[in-house]
Amino acid sequence: MAVQLKAKVRENGKAKNLIKDGKIPAVIYGPNHGNLNVQLLEGEIESLISKAKETTPVHVTVDLNGTAEERNVFVKSVQFHKVSGKIIHVDLYEPDPNKHMRFKIPVEFVGEAEGIKTGGIFDVLLRDIEGEALPSNIIEEMKIDISAMKIGESLKVKDLKVPDNVKILQNAEDIIAVIKAPRAEEVTAPAEVTETAEPEAIKTKGKKEEEEEKEEK
């Protein structure tokens, strides 16, 4: 379901002045139209960015000096201020609705795997899957239930179930996630130390002592 957004055509002016007024400069571009410079309300675009993904369809109503124009776009890129961290510019891409476009489907894992419950380690190798579809058929997000996965089992791209109108471009054998066995803790027992009684030192008699003993005899 598309997210709704309002925009207004942007007249020539400095972007800094717009930002001070709580407006964010943006551009709508695509193969079927020339670049359209617009301005967005800061609160609306911040709300959109906080929940939208690159695959989230956005329906923009543009106010062209009193005339409303509808555009179906995707958020392509967002620029943030290096110091304040606030949004300072947004790129909105408007694809050709009749041509397939490539996109990356974000992956979200749901459920608690059986293998994790028994001590396994869940390792994620792919966070998104590359696909291709018409703009209206793009999958915003792919939720994968991992509840039945056990230790030693892996989930591959070929295991995914996707609509017929979406083509997966990712290698079918690519591993998305795997549950590894827990590492065995290597416990090294300290070497046993056997305490042995130290033998008494044997007193070696010197030559002088031997001579004294002979004189006494």
Q: What is the pLDDT of residues 116-163, one digit of tens each?
A: 999 999 999 999 999 999 999 999 999 999 999 999 999 999 999 999
Say what the pLDDT of residue 2 is: 80
Say what the pLDDT of residue 40 is: 94
Which regions of the chain are under pLDDT 50? 186-189, 191, 193-205, 208, 210, 214, 217
Say what the pLDDT of residue 200 is: 43
- As a three-state string, the secondary structure of 81-110 is CCCCCCEEEEEEECCCCCCCEEEEEEEEEE
Say what the pLDDT of residue 65 is: 84
**Residue 187: both structure tokens together:** 């416990």
Say what the pLDDT of residue 56 is: 93
Would you say 41 and 14 are in contact if contact means Cβ atoms under 8 Å apart?
no
CB neighbour class for 78 (10 Å; exposed up to 12, middle 13-18, buried from 19): middle
Tokens 């033998």 correspond to 199
Say what the pLDDT of residue 187 is: 41
Say what the pLDDT of residue 76 is: 93
